[in-house]
């Protein structure tokens, strides 16, 4: 799932390559992706793309005052294309969800792999009209130290859930929360309001360091021209069974909400594996 670093890299790419171009046409290939009907998608045609912004994990294209707000969900991506085909795409075929044509024959595709479709596109007059944007907490790279510590102290729940709750802090998802907790040497199941001051500051520093480093890698890779979202430099996320790069212990996995998380027992949980709650519930 694209998170803050990936979406920020796409934002930077579009600022450099697309802002200032006129949108000539927008083709909708996956009907379920569009969540609004007024203004219509066709209203964007003929207008200049004047700016690009990121709100949490949302991408916001300002098209002369109308906003095309995109949430890439789990398996969505944006592909920059030079020389787009002019014939309209066949709806419902393949991963293509939406195609934006710019002048000069360039443009980009929004695609989504897999059968669980979650990619969402909104055309609005203000990004705050998108409920997911309106609910966002402070941005993970903008929240200051005191505000972050206060947010954690006021949250009764596990750190993994707190970090990935977009209404608490915006921009962090499943992958980077695993990386942040590993960097902070904290258990994903530790309660947010039980952090010591020292732990809360360590977590804050880990948020900034992890996201900043990931962003530098993503921007360097020219995200929008990549085949798909590819992450490098991960220490624990999606590395179940592999050695922890810090201590050499085996990275483990445990289920969390509707997904799974990865962590290093030696670095994060005092060497003890976490109990899989889903499994113990089944056995009870
Ligand atoms: Zn380790």
- Tens digit of each residue's pLDDT (9 = 90 or more) over 117-153: 899 999 999 999 999 999 999 999 999 999 999 999 9
> Rounded to the nearest whole angstrom, what is the distance from the C-alpha of residue 60 to the centroid of ligand 1?
38
Q: What is the mean pLDDT of residues 26-31?
A: 95
Which of these ranges, 7-16, 59-68, 85-94, 188-197, has the smallest mean pLDDT? 85-94
Q: What percent of the chain has pLDDT over 70?
A: 94
> Rounded to the nearest whole angstrom, what is the distance from the C-alpha of residue 207 to the centroid of ligand 1?
18
Computed over every residue of the chain, the mean pLDDT equals: 93
Q: Which residue matches tokens 């595709």?
A: 109
Tell which residue, 112, 85, 120, has the closest CA to residue 101. 85
Would you place residue 259 in the very low, low, confident or very high pLDDT band (cuts 50, 70, 90)?
confident
* 39: preceding bond cis by omega (within 30 degrees): yes
Q: Are 175 and 234 in contact, with CB atoms under 8 Å apart?
A: yes
Residue 284 pLDDT = 44
Q: How far apart are the C-alpha atoms of 41 and 56, rounded to whole Å? A: 23
| pTM of the predicted model as reported, rounded to 2 decimal places | 0.93
> Rounded to the nearest whole angstrom, what is the distance from the C-alpha of residue 179 to the centroid of ligand 1?
11
Q: List Cα–Cα distances, 80 to 14, 105, 108, 180, in angstroms.
A: 9, 11, 4, 30
Question: For residue 165, with 0-12 CB atoms within 10 Å meaning exposed, 13-18 middle and 19 or more buried, which class applies?
Answer: middle
Q: Are 78 and 59 in contact, with CB atoms under 8 Å apart?
A: yes
Residue 279 pLDDT = 56
DSSP 257: T
Q: Are 264 and 236 in contact, with CB atoms under 8 Å apart?
A: yes
> Rounded to the nearest whole angstrom, what is the distance from the C-alpha of residue 181 to the centroid of ligand 1?
11
Helix (H, G, I), strand (E, B) or coil at 242: coil
User: Tens of pLDDT along 70-124?
Assistant: 999 989 999 999 999 989 898 877 899 999 999 989 999 999 998 888 999 999 9
> Rounded to the nearest whole angstrom, what is the distance from the C-alpha of residue 236 to the centroid of ligand 1?
9
User: Tens of pLDDT along 245-258?
Assistant: 999 999 999 998 88
Would you place residue 278 in the very low, low, confident or very high pLDDT band (cuts 50, 70, 90)?
low
Q: What is the mean pLDDT of residues 32-42?
A: 96
Residue 217 pLDDT = 85
Q: What is the mean pLDDT of residues 65-74?
A: 96
> Rounded to the nearest whole angstrom, what is the distance from the C-alpha of residue 266 to the centroid of ligand 1?
5
> Rounded to the nearest whole angstrom, what is the distance from the C-alpha of residue 185 to the centroid of ligand 1?
9
- 25 forms bridges with which residues in the sheet? 101
> Rounded to the nearest whole angstrom, what is the distance from the C-alpha of residue 251 to the centroid of ligand 1?
7
Residue 139 φ/ψ, nearest 5 degrees: -65, 140
DSSP β-ladder status, 49-55 and 58-63: antiparallel
| pLDDT at residue 229 is higher than 60 | no
């Amino acid at each position: 799932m694209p998170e803050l670093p990936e979406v920020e890299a796409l934002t930077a790419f579009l600022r450099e390559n697309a802002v200032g171009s006129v949108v000539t046409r927008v083709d909708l290939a996956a009907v379920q992706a569009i969540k609004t009907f007024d203004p219509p998608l066709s209203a964007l045609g003929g207008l200049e793309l004047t700016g690009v912004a990121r709100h949490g994990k949302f991408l916001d294209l300002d098209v002369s005052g109308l906003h095309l707000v995109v949430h890439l969900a789990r398996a969505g991506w944006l592909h920059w294309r030079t020389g787009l085909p002019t014939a309209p795409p066949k709806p419902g075929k393949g991963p293509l969800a939406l195609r934006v044509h710019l002048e000069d024959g360039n443009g980009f595709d929004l695609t989504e792999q897999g059968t669980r479709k979650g990619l969402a596109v909104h055309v609005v007059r203000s990004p705050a009209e998108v409920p997911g944007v309106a609910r966002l907490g402070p941005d993970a790279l903008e929240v200051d130290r005191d505000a972050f510590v206060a947010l954690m102290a006021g949250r009764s729940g596990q750190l993994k859930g707190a970090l990935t709750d977009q209404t608490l802090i915006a921009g962090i998802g499943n992958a980077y929360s695993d990386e942040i907790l590993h960097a902070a040497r904290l258990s994903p199941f530790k309660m947010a309001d039980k952090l010591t001051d020292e732990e809360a500051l360590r977590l804050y520093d880990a948020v900034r360091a992890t996201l900043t480093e990931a962003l530098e890698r993503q921007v360097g890779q020219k995200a929008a021209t990549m085949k798909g979202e590819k992450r490098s430099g991960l220490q624990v996320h999606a590395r179940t069974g592999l050695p922890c790069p810090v201590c050499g212990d085996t990275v483990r996995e445990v289920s969390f909400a509707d997904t799974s998380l990865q962590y290093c027992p030696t670095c994060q949980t005092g060497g003890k594996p976490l109990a899989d709650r889903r499994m113990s519930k089944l056995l009870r």
